[in-house]
Amino acid sequence: MPGAVDIQVLDRILISIAEEMGIVLKRSAFSSNIKERRDFSCAIFDKNAQLLAQAAHIPVHLGAMPDTVSEIMQRFDLEPGDIVITNDPFKGGTHLPDITLVSGVFDRHGDRLLFYLAARAHHADVGARHPGSMALCTSLDDEGVLIEPCLLSRNGKLLDDRLGDICLRMRNPTERAGDIRAQMACLLRGEKRLHELLDRYGHDRLFGLVPHLVDYGRRYMENTISEIPDGFYEFEDFLDDDGLSSRPVPICVKIDISSKRAVVDFAGTAAQLGTSLNATKSVTASAVFYCFFCLLEEGCPVNAGSFAPIDIKIPEGNLLNPLPPAPVAAGNVETSQRVVDVVFGALSNVLVSIIPAASCGSMNNLSIGGKWPDGREFTYYETIGGGMGARPGKHGISGIQVHMTNTLNTPVEALEQTYPIVVERYGLRHGSGGAGKYRGGDGIVRRYRFIHPCTFSLLTERRVLAPYGLYGGSNGKRGRNILFRHGSSAGEDIPGKCTMEAQPGDILEIRTPGGGGWGRFDS
């Protein structure tokens, strides 16, 4: 039986390899969304598609990627040098802009498959009806090019025709191809480091440790769940609307804690929608796993074993488990955030000293596209942070990406150098955090002036329904999206989900929500 130190050392080594894969991807990428915002994730799996290690990248990617790798394992008999590409949301994907590459790692002789490597990155455009591929749509076809799992590289040779066919159906194909090649490079780095690990440990020692690492993750999660009192815990929250009507969309959860297991049931949640707010089952699972991972002590292993004690039940045809070909672009970025809010809300019934108030509850998605005077197309996408919910004993953090996103902001200098946009204001939205014994974090104000005609799309939430406070704390302030037409000092509030045309001199101001407050002033 290996010791805890041996298991922990292996866990740290595997995580460091995944982190290094991400560094290679970031440094090799073409688009600002990947190289600046770091909207990507890398992970390592065993030969049975069990997650062994993930870098601290994007939570909504990492809980879903095991489903993608499992799908590819069943569909392909990979050989050394093969790489599979896909973005299918209903085969372990999230939404179409998230393109995933998967490769196998074999022994030095190429005889035995030992690991899988995966790299998922959000591409700034995948050929959707609207530039940036992050607009509210009513069909999956309008959201972009669907890439069924297929070989991108065979025996180490890139299939140029296939790459060209994929990228030429998207805006800015040179940038798309550059980002995909960067993903390929990061897989090669992971393969190199795993071979070095095999040389150092030897096959028998390394694969003698792997089952114990996975089991350690399982036991750690079981022990964490066992500390929650047995019982049923419920919560309900709402999306502002479906983007077409003004009716709120309910998300309901009931969590059954029994001994060392948790059953998370979303019965009562709205049926799947006709717009992009649907979240695939993989995305929903990512959000649930994330909430329980937040309960773990820092430094504990997170792997396939960590998922095992958590059962997730979602009826088919549900908002959180839609049937294909439902549109899903916003489910990954917005609905996932509300899943976190309801799971934490349910747990707040019993974990009073742990659970925070609701954070801003939106990734505040903005995509912009247009043409330069010479006819070349540009596309840009970013998410904007907001206020973190206040916590027991601490105020919420202001101006930060929270929960299912873990990206950085796009620096103003990088944005203005690359695109015909001027950022006139970027700062905290003071006073937007909810009051309480501990204050919610403040949101952000980001103000853009357009230099050339362009199309912009917004996918934002918490513009109608505010982030909730807990235990007597006040709600955070709702977000606002305001458009100032050129020459006008009076701005108009625009919907949380919309696509609009902008002319030179027009200004878009996004005010993101603050976090909820925690506790009464007099408590």
pLDDT digit string, tens, across residues 490-503: 999 999 999 999 99
Residues 59-82, mean pLDDT to the nearest whole number:
91
Tell whether 169 is covered by a domain: yes
Q: What is the pLDDT of residues 381-391, one digit of tens each?
A: 999 999 999 99
Q: Counting runs of H as helices and runs of E as strands, what totals does the chain give?
A: 12, 20
Residue 117 lies in a domain: yes
Residue 445 falls inside a structural domain = yes
Of the candidates 523, 445, 499, 448, the one whose C-alpha atom is nearest the C-alpha of residue 477 is 445
Q: Of the candidates 356, 336, 351, which has an alpha carbon nearest to the alpha carbon of residue 469?
A: 356
Report the pLDDT value the prediction gives residue 406, as an integer from 0 to 100.
81
User: Tell me, what's the pLDDT at 1?
Assistant: 66
Chain position carrying tokens 């085969």: 91
How far does CA 381 lie from the centroid of its chain? 14
Q: At what angle do helices 4-28 and 203-226 cross, to 10 degrees?
A: 100
The type of residue at 273 is: L
Top-confidence residue, 489 or 153 = 153
In the listed set 169, 186, 215, which residue is the last one of a domain according to the structure?
215
| Average pLDDT of span 405-419 | 89
Show which of 215, 231, 262 is a domain's final residue: 215
Is the alpha carbon torsion for 21, 165, 174, 276 positive or negative? Answer: negative
Model confidence at 418: pLDDT above 80: yes
Examine residue 451 and state whether it is found in any structural domain, yes or no. yes
The DSSP code sequence of 28-39 is H--SHHHHTS--
Is the CB of residue 481 less than 8 Å from the CB of residue 508? yes
Can you tell me the mean pLDDT for 178-184?
98
pLDDT of residue 508: 98
* Domain encompassing residue 195: 4-215
pLDDT for 523 beyond 60: no
For residues 211 and 360, state if they share a domain: no
Tally of residues, the chain: 523
Q: Is residue 270 part of a domain?
A: no
What average pLDDT does the segment 171-200 reach? 97
pLDDT for position 315: 96
- Three-state secondary structure of 356-378: CCCCCCCCCEEEEEEECCCCCEE
User: Using an 8 Å Cβ cutoff, are 440 and 476 in contact?
Assistant: yes
Residue 20 lies in a domain: yes
* Structural domain contains residue 86: yes
SS3 145: coil
Residue pair 456/367 in contact by the 8 Å Cβ criterion: yes
Q: Indicate the number of domains in the chain.
A: 2
Cis peptide before 325 (omega within 30 of 0): yes
Per-residue pLDDT tens digits for 432-489: 999 999 999 999 999 999 999 999 999 999 999 999 999 999 999 999 999 999 988 8
What sections of 389-506 are H helices per DSSP? 412-418
- Whether the predicted pLDDT of 37 surpasses 90: no
Mean pLDDT of the chain: 95
User: Which of 215, 242, 263 lies at the terminal end of a domain, its last residue?
Assistant: 215
Would you say 49 and 116 are in contact if contact means Cβ atoms under 8 Å apart? yes
Per-residue pLDDT tens digits for 243-280? 999 999 999 999 999 999 999 999 999 999 999 999 99
C-alpha closest to that of 380 among 445, 443, 303, 451? 451
- For the stretch 328-379, pLDDT in tens is 999 999 999 999 999 999 999 999 999 999 999 999 999 999 999 898 999 9
Residue 99 domain flag: yes
Residue 409: pLDDT band with limits 50, 70, 90: confident
CB of 377 closer than 8 Å to CB of 370: yes
**DSSP notation for 255-310:** EEEETTEEEEE-TTSPBPPSSTT---HHHHHHHHHHHHHTTSPTT---SHHHHTTE
Which residues have a Cβ under 8 Å from the Cβ of 197 and sit 6 or more positions away?
13, 14, 17, 206
Quick one: CA dihedral 16, 177, 39, 266, positive or negative? Answer: negative
